[in-house]
Structure 1
Amino acid sequence: MQLPELFEEKMKHLLGTEYEDFLAGYEKERHQALRVNPAKISAEEFLRISPFALQPVPWAKNGFYYGTEDRPGKHPWHESGVYYIQEPSAMSVAELAGVQPGDRVLDLCAAPGGKSTQLAAAMEGKGLLVSNEIHPARAKILASNMERMGVPNALVTNEPPQRLTPHFPSFFDRIVVDAPCSGEGMFRKEEQAVIQWSQDNVGLCAARQQDILEEAAKMLRPGGILVYSTCTFAPEEDEESVVRFLLKHPDFSVKQVEAYEGFAPGREEWVKLTEEEKESVSAERLEEILASVKATFRLWPHKLDGEGHYAAVLEKAGSRDDRKSRERTDRSGGRKSAGKAGGATADAAAWKLYEEFAADALTHCPEGIPMLFGEQLYLLPCLLDLSGLKVLRPGLHLGTVKKNRFEPAHALALALKPEDAKRRVSYGADSREIRAWLSGESLEADGTEGKGWTMVCVDGFPAGWGKLAGGSLKNHYPKGLRKNLES
């Protein structure tokens, strides 16, 4: 690989005797991994039935390296959200966030969705996850991945951070800022990152990161946790970004958390500040901030099996309010108003159509606050005012309400367990039927009793809806997702 000359000079200066080991890492084959979706299957059970050659990722409890001969993206389980293919070092960020079920969580720079779906897994369908992405095309990919992984309690927004802040002041328990960066840690994985690299871009990214962190700070509750990460080696975007943020925010500090094997400490000596910045706090405070950099993490490709990453866990001073009292205000049973969200509360006629569908097709209905967006019926996870925001996914998509009928959404099937459907058929991952189904073909269903909406599964994992009638299973797999998988 031909690295930018200026980048090589810079890394040689920073790493000294370690530089040759660092450079040799670019000649090694990169590692690939997947993360099992615990909402679908336990990691232990997945290991038992998986057709892939798997080895655990040390810092991700549901993460596994897979073999170079494996093609998990071509396997039907992928389409059912059984796992998410994710760069192994990137799995460290959500783990460091320490998310618990019931938390309010913000993933501020979320596309394509690896960290968001990992955060959602830790939340176990409880609490609220807001996944935001500023770029519209990437936000659509994010929404699609949240749907595929069956996340029921997430909102996907398409906004710059400063547009979110007025809606969520001091609101979130956990915030992840996987900041846009110069991508130096991805050189081995993405050739485009090498082509686009420049020292000027490093400076632009560092300035943008401070702007994003400023907004994140306003949205974090007292006592909350902010995880800042990048996929670059540049100190300007890593240690210096953290130090500059701490200089401006005396209510934040680096939180000491356990390092995994292979995680290297941040480098205090790489932080370069202006005289004005040094004089902005007392000498004692400056020394304390710089020393705390050693409690941040660098993930080096020559020291572990993954790409380059940086992460810092920051804690906001203060105490969190009582969770039980907060849950009483967050969640609302039944069909209460959801406030302003760009839609209208589900009217009686629309809700009746859904209830008729549920009575016929489901044994269990997901909980939430119903809201109608045009013809689309959603379940919101809690009461929120989202007026004025671009919301791609305001919660769990139940389906489309049309005149005198209700058509269930693909998202609903993927968010349910197989036993939640009264009628279901399951085909093996290697079967002709499931590959025909995923390409859009309808199937014969001889011997399947009844008629109406039927869950189609692959090896027992929900894969979508079909409509059963007269021995035929009409295909309702979304046209935009249909594909021909290799046999």
Structure 2
Amino acid sequence: MNLPKDFLEKMQALLKNEYEAFVASYEENKLQGLRVNTLKVSVEDFLKQNMFQLEQIPWVEEGFYYPSNERPGKHAFHEAGLYYIQEPSAMAVGGTLDPQPGERILDLCGAPGGKSTHVGARLKHEGFLLANEIHPARAKILAQNVERMGIRNCVVTNETPEKLAQRFPGYFHRILVDAPCSGEGMFRKDPEACEEWSLENVALCASRQLQILEEAGKMLMPGGRLVYSTCTFAPEENEGVIDLFLKRHPEYSVEDAVFYEGFKSGRKEWVGTSNASIEKTIRLWPHHLKGEGHFVAVLTKTDGEDPGKIKTLTKSVDRKLLKDYFDFGEAYLNKTPEGQYILFGEQLYIIPREMVPLENLKVLRPGWHLGAIKKSRFEPSHALALSLTREDCKYNISLGLEDDRLLGYLKGEALSIDGNKGWNLVHVEGYSLGWGKLAEGVLKNHYPKGLRWTGI
């Protein structure tokens, strides 16, 4: 790999006698991992499937390495949301945030969704997750991944940190800032990051990261936890940002974090500070562990003014307008999902009760997407299918991994099937995949066109 000359000179000055081992790590193959989605399957039951050669990742109980010859992204269980393919070092961030069911959590820079979905799984449908992404195209990918993993209590927004800080002052128990960075830690995984790197871009990233962290800090409640992370080695973007933020905000301090084997401390001398708490931050190096480069800092807000009760959204859709939805639930579900309903056009959602009014916010997904209210009928969403189990539905169609009809379903084909007329939840080995509508022995396929397998 042709690494930038300025980057190599900088790393040699920083690492000194570790430099040769660091450079040698780039000759090794990138490491690949998947994280089990515990909203849908326990780790124990997932391992019983014995699908892939897996090796435990030490710092996350749901995470596993898989070898380069495996293709878990092209497996029906991936489409069912049983796991998320995620770089192993990146999994350390969600574990360090340690979200607890019932809490209000913000993932400020959420796309493509690895860390947001990790948080969502840890919340177990209890509490509120706001997953934000400033770039519209990436925000759509974030929303798709949230839905694939079956997360019900998540709102996805496409906003600036400044706009969110105005609406959510002191509101969140925990905040994750996985800040956009120069990507040095991903050079082995992503050659494009290597090509785009420059010393000037490092400086620009550091300035932008501090601005993002400033806004994030406004949204944390007193006593709350803020995790700042990057996938770069640059001290300016890591220890430097934290040091400057702490100097501006005495109400924040660095919290002790859990160090696993191979984790190393941040280096205060690299940014010329005497603040010894910088050494409580975590560095993940590819020559010390099996993963790419990452930096993680855990901050606690030790003081601050409680903003009081924030006005949340209380208005709900008149239930009379939802007759077709309730008729659908009566006909096909064992229990109709209830909550605070909201209509986005014809799309029906249950919004988390902790969400603020939506006016003047760019919202892609205001909550749990149930489906569309159309003229004289309700059409259930793919997101609803992926958040249900076969026990939730009256009519089910079971397909095994070796069943030829499984590939046909994923390709969007109509299937010849005996069963109950109407909406059926299609699942693979008991895990939901999507909807089909059965009539006269033919299942009309409702697997979304954009997700269908092609060229197979």
TM-score with structure 1 length normalisation? 0.91
Distance 2:305 2:455 in 1: 48
8 Å Cα contact 1:75-1:429 kept in structure 2: no
Aligned AA (2:409):
W
Deviation at 1:479, TM superposition (A): 0.9
2:171 is aligned with 1:200: no
Q: Quick check: 1:443 aligned with 2:415?
A: yes
Residues 1:478 and 2:448 are matched in the alignment: yes
Aligned to 1:464: 434
Note if 1:413 corresponds to 2:398: no
Matches of 2:125 and 2:305, distance apart in 1: 21
Q: Which residue in the other structure is 1:316 paired with?
A: 301
Alpha carbons of structure 1 residues 485 and 422: separation in structure 2 relative to 1, 3 Å: farther
1:425 equivalenced with 2:397 (yes/no): yes
- The question of whether the paired residues in 1 share the 8 Å contact of 2:252 and 2:303 is answered with no
Count of paired positions: 454
In the alignment, which of 341, 347, 350 is matched to residue 376 of structure 1? 347
1:115–1:241: structure 2 CA closer, same or farther, 3 Å change rule?
A: same
| In structure 2, distance between residues paired with 1:51 and 1:266 | 38
Quote the residue 2:271 is aligned against.
271
2:99 and 2:334 mapped to 1: Cα distance?
A: 30
SS state of the match for residue 236, structure 1? helix
Deviations 1:405-436 (A, max 9, x none): 00000000101122101100111123211111
Cα distance between partner residues in 1 of 2:424 and 2:320: 23
Q: CA deviation at 1:163?
A: 1.0
Report SS of the residue matched to 2:360.
coil
For 1:55-79, what per-residue CA distance to the aligned partner results, in whole angstroms no more than 9, with x for missing partners? 1111111001112221000001101
Selected match of 2:333 from 337, 345, 362 = 362
Q: Which residue of 2 aligns with 1:278?
A: none
Deviations 1:432-471 (A, max 9, x none): 111111111011112x1x2111100011110011111111
| Structure 1 residue aligned with 2:406 | 434
Distance 1:418 1:258 in 2: 38
1:151/1:317 Cα in 2 relative to 1: closer, same or farther (>3 Å)?
Answer: same
Q: Which amino acid aligns with 2:247?
A: L
Q: Find the aligned partners of 2:99 and 2:311 in 1 and give their Cα distance.
A: 17
Q: In structure 2, the residue corresponding to 1:116 is in which secondary structure?
A: helix
Within 2, Cα distance between the matches of 1:78 and 1:251? 43
Q: Distance in 1 between matches of 2:392 and 2:303?
A: 42
**Does structure 2 retain, via aligned residues, the 8 Å contact 1:75–1:485?**
no
* One-letter amino acid matched to 2:287: H
Partner AA of 2:375 in structure 1 = K
Please give the secondary structure, in 1, of the residue aligned with 2:241: helix
Aligned in 2, Cα 1:320/1:380: closer, same or farther, shift over 3 Å? farther
Which has the larger displacement, 128-137 or 356-365? 356-365
Unaligned runs of 5+ residues in structure 1 are 274-286, 332-336, 340-344
Pair 1:295-2:277 in alignment: no
Kindly provide the CA deviation profile for residues 193-229 of structure 1, in whole angstroms up to 9, marking residues without a partner as x: 1100000000000000010001001000000000000
Q: Distance in 2 between matches of 1:476 and 1:53?
A: 32
User: What amino acid maps onto 1:338 in structure 2?
Assistant: T
Q: Report 1:180-191 matches (<5 A).
A: 180-191=180-191
Tell me if structure 1 keeps the 8 A contact 2:332–2:393.
yes
Q: Which amino acid aligns with 2:108?
A: L
Q: Aligned runs of 1:198-277 on 2, under 5 Å?
A: 198-272=198-272
Letter in 1 for 2:381: A
Q: What is the DSSP-based 3-state SS (H/G/I as helix, E as strand, rest coil) of the residue aligned with 1:45?
A: helix
Deviations 1:25-54 (A, max 9, x none): 000111100000111110011111131000
Q: Does the Cα contact within 8 Å between 2:105 and 2:173 map onto a contact in 1?
A: yes
Amino acid at match of 2:407: R
Is the CA contact (8 Å cut-off) linking 1:167 and 1:385 kept in structure 2? no
Partner secondary structure for residue 58 of structure 1: coil
CA drift of 1:330 comes to 9.5
Q: 1:108 is matched with which residue?
A: 108
Q: Determine if contact 2:135/2:158 at 8 Å carries over to the other structure.
A: yes
Q: State the Cα deviation string for residues 123-142 of structure 1 (Å, max 9, x = none).
A: 00000000000000000000
Q: Distance in 2 between matches of 1:265 and 1:482?
A: 45
For the 8 Å contact 2:251–2:304, the answer to whether it is kept is: no
AA of the residue aligned to 2:328: F
What letter is aligned with 1:183? G
Contact 1:223/1:320, CA 8 A, preserved across alignment:
no
> Contact 2:401–2:428 at 8 Å: present in 1 too?
yes
Q: Residue type matched to 2:30 in 1?
A: R
Percent of matched pairs sharing the same residue: 55
Q: Is the Cα contact below 8 Å between 1:439 and 1:483 reproduced in 2?
A: yes
The amino acid of 1:258's aligned partner reads V
| Residue identity matched to 2:336 | C
Return the alpha-carbon distance in structure 2 between the equivalents of residues 418 and 244 of structure 1: 52
How far apart, CA to CA, are the structure 2 residues paired with 1:407 and 1:98?
37
**In 2: Cα distance, 1:348 partner to 1:204 partner:** 51
Distance across 2 between alignment mates of 1:50 and 1:131:
32
The letter for the 1-side match of 2:290 is D
Partner amino acid, structure 2, of 1:360: A
Q: Distance in 2 between matches of 1:104 and 1:202?
A: 32
Deviation at 1:85, TM superposition (A): 0.2
| Counterparts of 1:128 and 1:330, CA distance in 2 | 15
Give the Cα–Cα distance (whole angstroms) in 2 for the partners of residues 320 and 210 of structure 1.
Answer: 22
- Aligned partner letter, 1:138: R
Aligned equivalents of 2:356 and 2:422: distance in 1?
Answer: 35
Is the 2:330–2:336 contact (alpha carbons within 8 Å) kept by the matching residues of 1?
no
> Matches of 2:407 and 2:305 in 1, distance apart?
49
Instruction: State the SS of the aligned residue for 1:110.
Output: coil
Contact 1:112–1:145, Cα closer than 8 Å, also in 2: yes
- Offset of residue 319 of structure 1: 9.1
In 1: Cα distance, 2:423 partner to 2:238 partner = 51
What is the CA–CA distance in structure 2 between the aligned matches of 1:419 and 1:190, rounded to whole Å?
42
- Tell me the CA shift for residue 320 of structure 1: 11
Alpha-carbon displacement from aligned partner over 1:235-288 (angstroms, at most 9, x marks no partner): 000001100000000000000122111110001110136xxxxxxxxxxxxx4x
Give 1:338 deviation, angstroms: 3.3
Task: Confirm or deny: 8 A CA contact 1:143 1:392 kept in the other structure.
Answer: yes
In the alignment, which of 333, 341, 348 is matched to residue 319 of structure 2? Answer: 348
Mind listing any 5+ residue stretches in structure 2 that lack a counterpart?
none
Whether the 8 Å CA contact 1:97–1:226 is kept in 2: the answer is yes
- Secondary structure at 1:64 match in 2: strand
Write the distance in 2 (CA, Å) between the matches of 1:350 and 1:417.
Answer: 27
1:280 is aligned to none
